[in-house]
């Protein structure tokens, strides 16, 4: 199946081409410069110009708003910079946790964990089912520099037990998510996915954003996209 034929409801993945221009990418990389020196996957601190880009009225956030409605907002942002020097394999799995401001014991939420000082919790699948994950490609990505690989339709299965992931993956069509710089891949957050190590000298920089349009129950609060002194309120 061709990338342009995919959609979120049926397949759990959709490609949005040329969302960012070369100028947009250069500006974004300039603002993310310090983060590129840190360990991949760390939560980002974002300035006002970047958070505006991610809001529902921005170039990137508008995709989430199209998929989730106008209340969509970024609830977590991480940056991955895969190179030959910083290279890793991602086995088949589901993203099963969310980042929150503080622990507040809530029915059906758990287990809890703390990573890099940030509280994470596994929510009910109903929470994940109402989220989307956007991967903003800041470099071109082909078979050589570790594209994301997804099991189409697996987002409709609920939580897949770890010992069933391999068999479940084999029962679904597999799609390799190539991209040009400036493209955005959107995924249903629970989709089964993996990624190989890069075999290229080219970088593979991806800004990954989780979006939700819903509040959490029992006073739990999304961690959100961190603010700096240049922006008074968090997204």
Answer yes or no: is 217 within a domain: no
Least confident of 7-21, 125-139, 148-162, 193-207: 193-207
Average pLDDT score, the chain: 91
Answer yes or no: is 53 within a domain: yes
Q: What confidence tier does 35 reach under pLDDT thresholds 50, 70, 90?
A: low
Residue 195's domain comprises 3-212
Answer yes or no: is 119 within a domain: yes
Structurally, how many domains does the chain consist of?
1
List the CATH number of the domain containing 104: 2.60.120.620
Answer yes or no: is 219 within a domain: no
DSSP string for residues in 52-114: HHHSTTSTTHHHHHHHH-TT-EEEEEEEEEE-SSS---EEEE----EEESS----TT---EEE
Global pTM? 0.92
- pLDDT at residue 226 is higher than 80: no
- pLDDT at residue 64 is higher than 90: yes
Answer yes or no: is 231 within a domain: no
Answer yes or no: is 218 within a domain: no
Answer yes or no: is 226 within a domain: no
Answer yes or no: is 76 within a domain: yes
For position 230, what pLDDT does the model report? 35
94-133 confidence digits (pLDDT tens): 999 999 999 999 999 999 999 888 899 999 999 999 999 9
């Amino acid at each position: 199946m061709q990338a342009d034929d995919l959609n979120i409801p049926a397949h759990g993945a959709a490609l949005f081409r040329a969302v960012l221009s070369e100028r947009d990418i250069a500006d974004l990389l300039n603002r993310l410069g310090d983060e590129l020196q840190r360990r991949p996957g760390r939560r980002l601190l974002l300035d006002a110009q970047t958070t505006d880009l991610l809001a529902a009225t921005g170039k990137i956030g508008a995709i989430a708003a199209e998929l989730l409605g106008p209340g969509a907002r970024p609830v977590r942002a991480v940056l991955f910079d895969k190179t030959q020097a910083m290279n890793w394999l991602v086995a088949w799995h589901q993203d099963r946790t969310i980042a929150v401001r503080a622990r507040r014991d809530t029915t059906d939420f758990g287990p809890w964990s703390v990573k890099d000082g940030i509280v994470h919790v596994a929510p009910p699948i109903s929470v994940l089912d109402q989220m989307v994950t956007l991967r903003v490609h800041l470099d071109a990505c082909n078979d050589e520099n570790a594209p994301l690989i997804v099991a189409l339709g697996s987002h409709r299965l609920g939580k897949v037990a770890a010992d069933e992931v391999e068999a479940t993956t084999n029962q679904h069509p597999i799609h390799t998510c190539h991209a040009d710089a400036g493209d955005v891949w959107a995924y249903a957050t629970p989709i089964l996915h993996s990624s190989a190590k890069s075999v290229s000298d080219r970088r593979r920089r991806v800004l990954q954003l989780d979006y939700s349009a819903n509040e959490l129950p029992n006073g739990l609060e999304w961690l959100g996209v961190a603010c700096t002194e240049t922006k008074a309120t968090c997204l």
